[in-house]
Structure 1
C-alpha cells in the first residue's frame, strides 16, 4: 500500500498510486491527462483492466492519505527540496526524485512515472525499472563500459550517434548510482539528456531527464538537479 508519512500539506492527490510532495502550505495539484502529441502513445479506448487499475490506485491513495496523519515525519526528503521544484515519492516501487514545479504529470509508454514541461514536451523526466538478479549497479561492470554501452547501444536509435559528455558515480545511504550526460544526434534532430541508474529491491532503475539539444545550455543545470535527486527507497 502506498502510505505517505509526510504531512498532508505535502501530499498531491494524483490519479496514480504515487505521491507528489510539494512545499508546505502549497495547494495540492491534481494530475493532468497525458499528452497525445508527437511520440507519446495514446490508446484510443481505455480497457476494463485499465479502469480497474485506476480504481485500485485511487483506493490506495485514499488509504495512504488517511494513514498520513498517524505516522511520524518522513526521512525521505530530509534534505531541503530546491526552490521551484516538487518531490515525487513512490513508496510502492521504491524511488523518489524532484522535478520542476511547473511541469505536469504524463504517461510515457513503458515507464512508471513521468513529468514534462507544459509547453515543451520534449523537456521531460521519466522513470522505469525492470527486474534483475543483480544486487548493485557495480555488478553491471565498470562505469565507463556500462555508460558507453547504454548511450551507444541501448538509448541510441540505429540512425543516431551518441556523444557522452560526462559521467559520475556516487553513493548515498549505502546505494550506488551512475549518472551520465549524453547527446543523441540524428540527421534531423538532436536531444541531450542526463541519466541516473541504480539497482536495489531486485530492480534495475533508470531515470532520464532531457531536452532538445538546442535548448540544452539554457536548461542543463535545471535538469541536472532532477537527475542528481534520484534516490532508491527500501521496499
Structure 2
C-alpha cells in the first residue's frame, strides 16, 4: 500500500465537456473506395496511398463518434461537467465552475476558482490486482489508507462512512473521512477501484467549515467515477 504515495504522472488525451447533442450516426463508406478494382487485378502506388488515407480517416472518424456516443449516453447533472480520459481509462463529473489545474503526481485535477482546498484529483498506479476485494476487506483497506497514507503526522483521521457499488462488473469503494489538525480540518470523499491493470483513486474534498454546505455536491463527484476499458 505504501506505493500509493508515488502516483504516476502522464500526459493523457484528456477531454472536458458539458452535456450536448451529438450526431451518433455511424460512418458509411462505399466499398468501391477501399478495395482494388477487379478489372486491374492489382493496386498502383497511388491506389495504395489513397486507400491508406481513407482507412486512417475512417479510423479517426470512428473514434470521434464513439467518444461522442459516450458523452451523449452519460447524463451529466445540472451545474456539472464530464471529464473523460479515453487514454488512461476513466471518467467523472466535476462542478462546472471549477477549473483544471496541475496537482503534483496526479493525472487530472479541478478546483474551485476561489477556494483551493475545494478540489478533485485522480491518480493511479500499476497493480497486478484485478479487483478492490483483492486488497483485503473494505474496513481494513480504507482505515489503512486514511490513517497511513492520507493523514499527515499532525492530523487525526476519522472515517465516517464506507459504501460499495458495482457497475459494468467493476467494484468501487467510496468513503468519507476527516483529517483534523490544530490549525484546520478538511473532509473528503475518496473512491478507489481497480481496472486496466491500474489502481485508481479519486479524492474530492473541502475545508471542514464548508463541508456541510458542499457535501451533497461533492458526493456526486465521488459517485460518478467510472473506469473505462482500454
Equivalence for 2:16: 20
SS of 2:70 mapped into structure 1? coil
Kept in 1: contact 2:19–2:71 (CA 8 A) = no
Dislocated runs of 4+, deviation >4 Å: 64-73
Q: Which runs of 5+ in 2 are unaligned?
A: 1-10, 22-58
Does structure 1 residue 184 correspond to structure 2 residue 187?
no
Q: Structure 1's 227 and 81: CA in aligned 2 closer, same or farther, altered over 3 A? A: same
Q: Distance in 1 between matches of 2:140 and 2:69?
A: 37
Q: Distance in 1 between matches of 2:136 and 2:228?
A: 23
Q: Distance in 2 between matches of 1:102 and 1:65?
A: 31
Q: Deviations over 1:166-224 (max 9, x none)?
A: 00011000000100000000111100000000001110000000000111000000000
Does structure 1 residue 75 correspond to structure 2 residue 70?
yes
Q: Which has the higher helix share?
A: 2
Q: Structure 1's 70 and 125: CA in aligned 2 closer, same or farther, altered over 3 A? A: closer
Q: Structure 1's 18 and 185: CA in aligned 2 closer, same or farther, altered over 3 A? A: same
Equivalence for 1:127: 122
SS of 1:149 mapped into structure 2? helix
Equivalence for 2:160: 165
Q: Deviations over 1:8-54 (max 9, x none)?
A: xxxxxxx96201121227xxxxxxxxxxxxxxxxxxxxxxxxxxxxx
Q: Structure 1's 111 and 143: CA in aligned 2 closer, same or farther, altered over 3 A? A: same
Q: Distance in 2 between matches of 1:202 and 1:77?
A: 27
Q: Distance in 1 between matches of 2:74 and 2:154?
A: 41
Q: Structure 1's 76 and 24: CA in aligned 2 closer, same or farther, altered over 3 A? A: closer
Q: Deviations over 1:100-145 (max 9, x none)?
A: 0000000000000000001111100000000111010100011011
Q: Structure 1's 119 and 65: CA in aligned 2 closer, same or farther, altered over 3 A? A: farther
Q: Structure 1's 24 and 65: CA in aligned 2 closer, same or farther, altered over 3 A? A: farther
Q: How does 1:192-211 map to 2 (within 5 A)?
A: 192-211=187-206
Q: CA deviation at 1:69?
A: 5.2
Normalised by the length of structure 1, the TM-score is 0.73
Q: Distance in 2 between matches of 1:65 and 1:191?
A: 44
Q: Which runs of 5+ in 1 are unaligned?
A: 1-14, 26-63
Number of residues paired by the alignment? 183
Does structure 1 residue 216 correspond to structure 2 residue 217?
no
Equivalence for 2:55: none
Kept in 1: contact 2:12–2:88 (CA 8 A) = no
Equivalence for 1:97: 92
Superposed CA RMSD: 2.0
